Structure 1
Amino acid sequence: MWPKSRIAGVPAFDTTDAAQLLQGMRLARAALKRGELVVIPTDTVYGIAAEAFAAPAVQRLLDAKGRDRTAPPPVLVPGLPTLDALAEVVPDEVRALVGEFWPGGLTVILRARSTLDWDLGETRGTVALRMPRHPIALELLAETGPLAVSSANKTGQPAATTAAEAEAQLGDAIEVYLEAGPSAEWYAPEHQRSGSTIVDATALEHPDGKLTIVRHGVIPDEEIIRVVGAERCG
């Protein structure tokens, strides 16, 4: 069992223990509402979570990682309805992809709705969306709504596969740590430090546009091509 506090003043909770789970989730929700950062388990690697619609919280996330605004964080969502709420257009190929791979390790870049009142950084009008497969992440998202989430590590350092690894890099920049065991338990060991596969689907709005695989991750390229079709992949 992970101790409740590894750094003085920074709560850390083992979510495999029922009592710690209840307290940790309560404190995590409260911290996010205040604009603080929380480390959460996802189905790929651990992530730093922030309230997506609170610009100071998103900036705090970028600062914790040592990133500037040119590297905006993805947004995790609790379900398919949120995809339509946040994206201006959802092409049929994207609906096929998320039907196949959500919840799971697929991040899709789409044009964000112009009416959204948020500031994720220099997104150029796009948003990267993913529905994770991890039950702790999904439970938190169901209660908070969309969260800006980036891998729980300093830029240039290995992605954290446990909350303890995240804590070693991020320390008291995080308000609450939620531990749920090594991420290799959720995906095969060969994917232990792999993030999600990222695809840019913005060009699919156009008849001759093609989807681009931006980052190779836990979902193989051939699986993306199988669903979308080779003629729609660039």
Structure 2
Amino acid sequence: MSLEYDLAVKLLQSGELVAFPTETVYGLGADAANPDAVARIFAAKGRPANHPVIVHLAGAGQLDQWARDIPPVAWELAEAFWPGPLTLILKRAPAVPLAVTGGQDTVGVRVPAHPVALDLLRAYAEAGGGRGGLCGIAAPSANRFGRISPTDAAHVRDELGDAVALVLDGGRCPVGIESTIIDLSNDNGPLRLLRPGHITPEQIRGVVGVAPESPGLRKPQQGTPRVSGSLDAHYAPRTPMRVVDTAQLRETLAALSAAGKRFGLLVYSSPDSSASAHSLRQMPNDPEGYARELYAALRDLDAAGNELIVVERIPESPAWAAVNDRLRRAACGAGNS
């Protein structure tokens, strides 16, 4: 695959877009030091210009290029969780374009754990990186803004087509939902959880001795940086979607069948009334397995010609927090074209 990496690096350095897999979802990559290249990301996704994008690095050794006044806790978290699905929000270095940060004085950075992403980032750095020698690739999810994130190369090609110069195929993403985002930009303030993900507050507590605060994931406090995936409506199918408690599922499905509705069903238990669904996706009953398959399942149900997607409500325990966050936002945005 070395020839593909060489091509990807040349395309990035010339301002083109390259999609690549991470352990979370596929990213739509551009030279993070080139505002014109970053603008291509926003144009391809239909993304508002004031929404920041995360910068992906080959290693923590590049952190000083992108952030300033880096607190000791950032290095502790980087050592513990990088490469991995953890994004740190830090004060941006002067050279970081405002196009990357959505006009803010903070920047989100992470080191992905996928071997294809790491090989690309290392090849990019070895080739001198982008403008000004900065070695970072800006890469939000490789899908239209607000829609279901891609966890397979085919999802990227289907949704973005010729807007992407190259798609590096690394197979299905093993985590399946976006990274945990922790805000460390508040001087002497507490760690703040801005987006739940695979890495949990308890895991963070195990490293730094304190769990991050959650300043209202739906309504962030004043002064909280804008971050990816924080809108109420996000990760959404075009088909309307309804989340239903397990106890009400049989009754709901019977009513839909009686009304002649064509519906898809996403369940993690085994309701005996599921046969009435036009299309069915049986999900794993553990949070990691469910997260890994969630977006692909929603895409399948969205493409199946359903009038409605019915989702069995999952547990509200901390272990399911990240998946619940994605389902809530998906339901809020579903059906909006």
Task: Please give the TM-score of this superposition, normalised by the length of structure 2.
Answer: 0.58
1:197 to 173, 177, 180: 180
Percent identity between the two aligned chains: 37
Counterpart residue type for residue 182 of structure 2? V
Question: How do residues 85-124 of structure 1 correspond to structure 2 at under 5 angstroms?
Answer: 85-116=65-96, 119-124=99-104
Counterpart residue type for residue 161 of structure 1? T
Counterpart in 1 of 2:171?
A: 181
State the secondary structure of the residue aligned to 2:62.
helix
Q: Is contact 1:225-1:233 (8 Å) kept?
A: no
Closer, same or farther in 2 for the Cα pair 1:170/1:135, shift >3 Å? same
State the secondary structure of the residue aligned to 1:43.
coil
Greater radius of gyration (CA): 2
Q: Which runs of 5+ in 1 are unaligned?
A: 1-20
Task: Please give the TM-score of this superposition, normalised by the length of structure 1.
Answer: 0.82
Closer, same or farther in 2 for the Cα pair 1:40/1:51, shift >3 Å? same
Counterpart in 2 of 1:28?
A: 8
Runs of 4+, deviation exceeding 3 Å: 115-119, 231-234
Q: Is contact 1:37-1:61 (8 Å) kept?
A: yes
Q: Is contact 1:53-1:119 (8 Å) kept?
A: no
Counterpart residue type for residue 228 of structure 1? V
State the secondary structure of the residue aligned to 2:58.
coil
Counterpart residue type for residue 157 of structure 2? E
Closer, same or farther in 2 for the Cα pair 1:89/1:32, shift >3 Å? same
Closer, same or farther in 2 for the Cα pair 1:212/1:123, shift >3 Å? farther
Q: Following the alignment from structure 1 to structure 2, what is the Cα–Cα distance between the partners of residues 54 and 98?
A: 25
Q: Which runs of 5+ in 2 are unaligned?
A: 125-134, 215-337
Distance apart, 1:50 and its partner CA:
0.1
1:59 has 2:39 as partner:
yes
The CA RMSD over aligned residues, in Å, is: 1.7
Closer, same or farther in 2 for the Cα pair 1:147/1:231, shift >3 Å? closer
Q: Is contact 1:52-1:118 (8 Å) kept?
A: no
Counterpart in 1 of 2:110?
A: 130
Distance apart, 1:72 and its partner CA:
1.6
State the secondary structure of the residue aligned to 2:139.
strand
- Could you give the per-residue CA deviations for residues 92-139 of structure 1, whole angstroms, max 9, x where no partner exists? 111111111001000000001124456325241111000011121112
Distance apart, 1:143 and its partner CA:
2.4
